[in-house]
Structure 1
């Protein structure tokens, strides 16, 4: 499976209007496209940064949808009052313990590494880290997106509430340090988001 993420560094007062547009216009548009398997929207209400991600069954669906979503992507950025940055990914890992509900949130970790070692990095996540991630307070799901050409990855760990995410942060920090040390991967960004929308019918990969 594959994904296209659009990051908009918008303004906090525009977030609710942006969520409404994605829910009422973007979602109905993409869910009827061939190969669509999901959409999520993460929002940081303090900074205005939002990330809308659509998931696709294969590369044909990913590339085939590109032209059709260009206009609504631009409109989303306009409503959020920011510029849009788009990235394409492979969904390397997806695991859910339960469905996402109102009040859920996520910590998004971005990292850069050696493209030639990416499979080793993913194996470390699956075998050494995932069992411990599942034990974090309020754990809901984890997904790992990768750009194999550049050796980049984005991992989102979602929780049932902000309180749970705060309780998990000390253990999460330790896991990130261990991950970076074991894999030689540089963590470039760690940020917390509210999960505004989560409509995923993508199957688990573990």
Structure 2
């Protein structure tokens, strides 16, 4: 399974229009593409950062979708008032306790490891981090998107509410600290509202 994420730092006044365009136009249009298995939209209204992620059954399907998704992304960028940054990933791990509901929030952490340690880091996330996350109150799901060739990765942890995410902040910080001791370099983190979640990605652990 593979994923493409498009990040735009939007004007705050344009966010609602961008959400409407992605919900009403982009999402229905993508459902007809071969190999498409879902879309999510994360929004941080304080910073204006918006991340749309599409998921695909194979790298070939993701590659074939580029012409169509480029068109929709460019129009979304015009509406939101920002320039998109695009990344393509392997969906290296995903565990879903239950599907998200309105009010869900997501903690996203960007990180990298030495390229030679990428496989070990992915295995560690699957075998150790995911089971620990699944025990947290209000946990909904977690995923790891990875680029094994560069060592970069993104961990997204979804909670049922902002209160649940805040209540687990120390536990999440402790998990990150443990990963740093194990050779992971944390580059950035951000908290988002999960605005759209229409993913059909199967369990990958």
> Is 1:83 equivalent to 2:83 in the alignment?
yes
Q: SS at the partner of 1:116? A: helix
- CA shift, 1:111, in A, is 0.2
- CA shift, 1:150, in A, is 0.8
- CA shift, 1:52, in A, is 0.2
> Is 1:125 equivalent to 2:129 in the alignment?
no
What are the ranges of 5 or more consecutive residues in structure 1 without an aligned counterpart?
none
What are the ranges of 5 or more consecutive residues in structure 2 without an aligned counterpart?
none
Match of 2:162 in 1: 162
Q: How does 1:2-151 map to 2 (within 5 A)?
A: 2-151=2-151
Write the distance in 1 (CA, Å) between the matches of 2:17 and 2:137: 31
Write the distance in 2 (CA, Å) between the matches of 1:123 and 1:105: 25
Write the distance in 1 (CA, Å) between the matches of 2:142 and 2:194: 13
> Is 1:180 equivalent to 2:154 in the alignment?
no
Write the distance in 2 (CA, Å) between the matches of 1:129 and 1:68: 36
Do 1:11 and 1:49's aligned partners in 2 also have CA atoms closer than 8 Å?
no
Q: SS at the partner of 2:168? A: helix
TM-score, structure 1 as length reference:
0.98
4+ aligned runs moved over 4 Å, structure 1: none
- CA shift, 1:22, in A, is 0.3
Do 2:119 and 2:148's aligned partners in 1 also have CA atoms closer than 8 Å?
no
Aligned residues: 205
- CA shift, 1:34, in A, is 0.1
- CA shift, 1:151, in A, is 0.4
- CA shift, 1:167, in A, is 0.1
Match of 1:203 in 2: 202
Do 2:112 and 2:184's aligned partners in 1 also have CA atoms closer than 8 Å?
yes
1:82-120, Cα deviation, whole Å (9 max, x unpaired): 110101000000110001110001000000111111110
Give the alignment's Cα RMSD to 1 decimal.
0.8
Q: SS at the partner of 2:21? A: helix
Q: How does 1:186-197 map to 2 (within 5 A)?
A: 186-197=185-196
